[in-house]
A and B are shown apart, each in its own frame.
Chain A
Amino acid sequence: MSSMPRLMQGNEACIEGAIAAGMRFYAGYPITPSTEIAELAAEKLPKVGGKFIQMEDEIASMGAVIGASLAGLKAMTATSGPGFSLKQENIGFACLTEVPCVIVNVQRGGPSTGQPTLPAQGDVMQARWGTHGDHPIIVLSPSYVREVFDLTVRAFNLSEKYRVPCILLMDEVVGHLREKVQLPDPASLKIINRKKPDLSKISHYNPYQDYDGDGIPPMVNFGEGIPYHVTGLIHDITGFPSTKPEVTEYLITRLMRKIYNNIDDIVEYEKHFTEDAETVIVSFGSTARSAIRAVKILRSEGEKVGLIRLKTIWPFPRKAFRELPSTVRNVIVAEMNFGQLIETVEAACEGKFNIFGLNKYNGELMSPDEVIAKVREVNKNA
């Protein structure tokens, strides 16, 4: 049975989704506008046999999450810009050591301490490249409170399936918004757990051996009787460091391919009114809600405008742009930053369309009127 409709905050939906997905460990350090996630984790996790710990800072929180996941629990942390910066080193460690975990970033204005109580979408590129070196990562971005629940479940599922950190990139508007929500029946949810090795068929378990040929090594949890080595150094299938070129190349290639070979399974986006559109807006998170409102108003006036709403930001859904019909001439990238995703969109459009940025970075959510004005300006000039 799905729940009765009720008023729920985005940050609350995140915790509901996490617990439904099987999260049983949360480590964090509270920061606006993500603090309700930590508060609710502290309240709800003990009731389902889980653990909550407030660590001394964000760096330690990320370390605790990695440790808990290695020991077999689904683990999460939540933060905002300044804390997300601090977590990057350990996020890189989780990428290389292939430890499943979910990191929530409820974006606020930056850089630095920035605008603690105001919304922004300025961490789009940091979510992809915040930690150094070639690494895979999955980034999801919800626009609605109900979608916060759905994408939190999905973040855990993808993280467990591909053994990769998954980032839920929210923004202050979606995190603090209270909205009418009806949660699904927990029994109806598809929950994915990390793949375990069939130890009856393996004489000696190598923690980073690709036994199944899918690039995802099966994982034994710490404490289950098979000790193994986990290091942030480049390692071979035994888990021990190696400087050999072939080992280095093999590992990085496998890490990237396990994500990029499964891109159709990972990327999600919605298309609205794109079939005959001349101008298409691209957006995500709360900004996409302003864009859909603008598109509905413009359509009612006969304007041929459509929208691509990204639910997965990284890996980037290039397919969405290949699918656009030949009627499209203009693409407008609407984001609450100075212009971050626009270059990736431009690359995905392969020179077929005129690209325009619609950027707002004053701490206020972009309004439908601003989107409408931009569409009119673009249609007049291009």
Chain B
Amino acid sequence: MEERIEIRLSGSGGQGLILAGIILAEAAILDGKNAVQSQSYGPEARGGASRAEVVISSSEIDYPKVTRPQILLALTNEAFNRFKDNMAEDGIIILDSSIKKEDTSNKIIQLPIIETARKDIGKSMVANIVAVGVITELTKVVSRQAAEKAILSRVPKGTEDLNLKAFYAGCSLAEKLA
């Protein structure tokens, strides 16, 4: 079977996870691959459980949803507990430092994503873009150039610099692990 990478971004409504999913999918397309992005959310606009899912493949994508992701991002406790046991065998979990880590059969990488957005960038709302930086640098699932281009085309006008700063901060968090 063809190479298929599944990514699940989970947290709560308002954290910008759907935008992060869109950026990753668009970056994959810029890299010349196929990508789909889907989402699941409750009736609440903010605060409820929210997730965005991305599938990236070099060939046609039939089934568009994520079942056992190779990459899970969890920004809330609830999201971590709900999704930690539905992973690919070799999958990695990227966990915000604010969440209590529990043992799972998968590798967990815990990073201060929300804190970096709040303290270093000055806006907690760019945690989603910090996370895009972490995922890009850590997994190489999309190229850095494509991610930057996708961010610039998708974030609101006037916030480009702020978001690029958040992206680079995310990349640095991941680089420090290496």
Footprint of B on A, CB under 8 Å? 5-7, 116-117, 173, 176-180, 286, 289-290, 292-293, 296-297, 300, 365, 367-369
A7 to B40 Cα, complex, angstroms:
18
A7 with B62: CB separation less than 8 A? no
Pairwise interchain contact A365-B65, C-beta atoms closer than 8 A: yes
**CA–CA, A157 to B36, complex, Å?**
29
Q: Complex Cα distance A178/B24, Å?
A: 12
The contact of B37 among A177, A289, A367, by CB within 8 Å, is A177
Determine the chain B residues whose CB is within 8 A of the CB of A6 once the complex forms: 26, 29
Contacts A289-B63, A365-B65, A367-B63 given: A178-B25 contact, CB under 8 Å?
A: yes
B39's nearest neighbour on chain A, judged by CB, is A176
User: Do residues A176 and B63 form an inter-chain contact, with CB atoms below 8 A?
Assistant: no
A7 to B61, CA, bound (A): 14
B38 within 8 A of A: yes
Q: How far is the CB of A45 from chain B (nearest CB, A)?
A: 23
The A-contacting residues of B in range 1-54, CB under 8 angstroms, are 1, 22, 25-26, 29, 34-43
Asked if residues A7 and B25 are in contact (CB atoms below 8 Å), the reply is yes
Give which listed residue, A5, A117, A176, contacts B38 with CB less than 8 A: A176
Interface pair A7/B29, CB less than 8 Å apart: yes
Query: Are B29's CB and A5's CB within 8 A?
Result: yes
The residue in chain A whose Cβ has the minimal distance to the Cβ of B21 is A178
- Additional pairs, 10, CB under 8 Å, beyond known A176-B38, A367-B67: A5-B29, A7-B35, A177-B37, A178-B37, A179-B35, A179-B36, A180-B34, A365-B65, A368-B62, A369-B67
Sampled A-B contacts (13; CB under 8 Å): A5-B29, A6-B26, A6-B29, A7-B29, A7-B35, A117-B40, A117-B41, A117-B43, A173-B64, A178-B37, A286-B64, A290-B62, A296-B62
CB-based nearest B residue for A118: B40
- Chain B interface residues toward A at CB < 8 A: 1, 22, 25-26, 29, 34-43, 61-65, 67
- A289 CA / B43 CA spacing, docked (Å): 26
Identify which of B25, B35, B39, B64 gathers the most chain A CB atoms within 10 Å of its CB: B64
Assess whether A177 is in contact with B38, with CB atoms less than 8 Å apart.
yes
A-B contact count (CB 8 A): 57
B29 A293 Cβ-Cβ under 8 A: no
Query: Which A residues touch B62, using CB under 8 A?
Result: 289-290, 292-293, 296, 368
Q: Given the complex, which residues of A lie within 8 Å of B26, measured CB to CB?
A: 6-7
A180 engages B36 (CB within 8 Å): yes
User: How distant is the Cα of A116 from the Cα of B63 in the complex, in angstroms?
Assistant: 22
CB distance from B44 to the nearest CB of A (A): 10
Give the CA-CA distance A179 to B1 in the complex, in Å: 21
- For B61, the chain A residues whose CB sits under 8 A away are 179
The answer to whether residues A117 and B35 also contact, given A286-B64, A292-B62 and a CB cut-off of 8 A, is no
CA distance A289 to B36 in the complex (A): 13
- Kindly identify which residue among B35, B38, B42, B43 contacts A180, using a CB–CB cutoff of 8 Å: B35
Q: Is B22's CB under 8 angstroms from A367's CB?
A: no
**Complexed CA–CA distance, A293 and B64 (Å):** 10
Name the residue of chain A whose CB is nearest to the CB of B63. Answer: A293
Given A7-B37, A180-B36, A300 contacting B1 (CB threshold 8 A): yes
* Contact B35–A289 (Cβ < 8 Å): no
Q: In the complex, what residue of chain B is closest to A145 when comparing beta carbons?
A: B36
Check A367 against B29 for contact (C-beta < 8 Å).
Answer: no
Q: How far is the CB of B125 from chain A (nearest CB, A)?
A: 21
Complex: A290 Cα to B38 Cα, angstroms:
15
Contact B36 A177 (CB under 8 A): yes
**Distance from B28 Cβ to chain A, minimum over Cβ atoms (Å):** 8
A170 to B38, CA, bound (A): 15
The minimal Cβ–Cβ distance linking A336 to chain B, given in whole angstroms, is: 13
Question: Chain B's nearest CB lies how many Å from the CB of A204?
Answer: 56
Shortest Cβ distance from B48 into A: residue: A117
Whole-angstrom distance between the Cβ of B59 and the nearest chain A Cβ: 11
Which residues of chain A are near B25, meaning CB under 8 Å?
Answer: 7, 178
Closest CB of chain A to B26's CB: distance in Å?
Answer: 5
Q: Chain A nearest CB: distance from B8 CB in Å?
A: 14
Complex Cα spacing A179 to B25, Å = 8
| CB-CB under 8 A for A7 and B22, given A179-B36, A180-B36 | yes
